Amino acid sequence: MGSVFLAQHPRLGIPVAIKVLHERDPEVLVRFRREAEVMARIKDPRVVEVFEAGVHEGEPYLVLEYCPGRDLADVLKERGALPPSEAAALVAEIARGVAAAHEAGVFHRDLKPANVIVSPDGSPKVTDFGIASVSGRGRHSLTETGVLLGTPAYMSPEQATDARDVDARSDVYALGVILYECLAGRRPFSGPSALAVLGRVVEGRAD
Query: Quick check: 17 and 67 in contact, CB under 8 A?
Result: yes
Residues with catalytic annotation? 110
Q: Which residues sit opposite 61 in a β-bridge?
A: 20, 54
- What is the distance between the alpha carbons of residues 27 and 16, in angstroms, rounded to a whole number? 26
Query: Quick check: 125 and 17 in contact, CB under 8 A?
Result: no
Helix axes 84-103, 168-184, angle to 10 degrees: 170
Residue 188 burial (10 A CB sphere; 0-12, 13-18, 19+): middle
Query: Quick check: 153 and 190 in contact, CB under 8 A?
Result: yes
Strand segments, DSSP code E, in the chain are 2-8, 15-21, 50-56, 59-65, 70-71, 106-107, 116-118, 124-126, 133-134
Pairing of strands 2-8, 133-134: unpaired
